[in-house]
Chains A and B, each alone.
Chain A
Amino acid sequence: EIVLTQSPGTLSLSPGERAILSCRASQSVSSSYLAWYQQKPGQAPRLLIYGASSRATGIPDRFSGSGSGTDFTLTISRLEPEDFAVYYCQQYGSSPITFGQGTRLEIK
């Protein structure tokens, strides 16, 4: 099983700042089958990034993903008020499918 470790656990930033979230895998994620999701309280997760760096439909270009192998990053270039939420990475190239434990992005 691939274990995904996200850091930091909580990130406190202000609107307009840049957010950098990390996801490290215990073994290589095949073919960059790595996704990022955003979850707000009481809502289902929303797909932001798939294939490590491809934005899902309708996702603003301030969200970008990068990385390969075991190290992946989600960057939000300029935080908007609606971006404060919990973010999860997920790998879907190896069974069982696994998620990271999440990074909480909170308003400073």
Chain B
Amino acid sequence: QVQLQESGPGLVKPSQTLSLTCTVSGGSISRGDYHWSWIRQHPGKGLEWVGYIYYSGSTYYNPSLKSRVTLSVDTSKNQFSLKLSSVTAADTAVYYCARGGYYAPFDYWGQGTLVTVSS
């Protein structure tokens, strides 16, 4: 059974960089069967796809966030990570990592982690 777990600071100051990591267990990122995504959900709102990454490091980002997002992967640790720069209060959201994205649904999700942007 594939499991995903997000980790990282729950509070980030405005203009700083939000950094989160997703650790995958029960399946290997380097197997190359799937892409791995980040999705966020503003409080009380709907879902917004942030971007996905493949084990090789190839990425695709939502154009609405592309200038501020960087995804990376560490296959030795079976982890992938999100960095979102120049954050504002509008980036306050629950951030989920999930398996899927490139012509594939999101079939496994992490529990989500709330990141609040505030001074």
Contacts and interface: CB of A to CB of B under 8 A. Distances in A.
25 contacts: A33-B103, A35-B105, A37-B47, A44-B110, A44-B112, A45-B47, A45-B96, A45-B106, A46-B109, A47-B107, A50-B105, A56-B105, A56-B107, A57-B107, A88-B47, A90-B47, A90-B105, A92-B101, A93-B103, A95-B60, A96-B62, A97-B37, A99-B46, A99-B48, A99-B49
A92 B103 contact: yes
Given A44-B111, A50-B105, A101 B46 contact: yes
A99 B47 contact: yes
Nearest to B94: A44
Which of A37, A43, A97, A102 has most chain B Cβ within 10 Å? Answer: A97
Interface of A: 1, 33, 35, 37, 43-47, 50, 56-57, 88, 90, 92-93, 95-102
Contacts of B100: 92
Which of A44, A47, A99, A102 has most chain B Cβ within 10 Å? Answer: A44
Interface residues of B, number: 23
Majority secondary structure of chain B interface residues (helix, strand, loop or mixed): loop
B63 A96 contact: yes
A59 to B, nearest CB: 11
B49 A98 contact: yes
Interface of B: 37, 46-49, 60, 62-64, 96, 98, 100-107, 109-112
